[in-house]
Amino acid sequence: MVYDVHTTKRLLSSRAWMLLRTWIVRSIHTLYATLRRNTSSNEPDMAGIHHANKDEEREALMVLTAEEKP
Q: What is the pLDDT of residue 55?
A: 83
Q: What is the pLDDT of residues 43-65, one digit of tens each?
A: 666 666 666 788 888 888 888 88
- Cα separation, 5 vs 68, in Å, equals 56
Nearest Cα to Cα of residue 27 among 17, 15, 19, 38: 19
* Mean pLDDT in residue range 13-19: 82
Q: Is the pTM of this model over 0.75?
A: no
* Mean pLDDT in residue range 27-43: 79
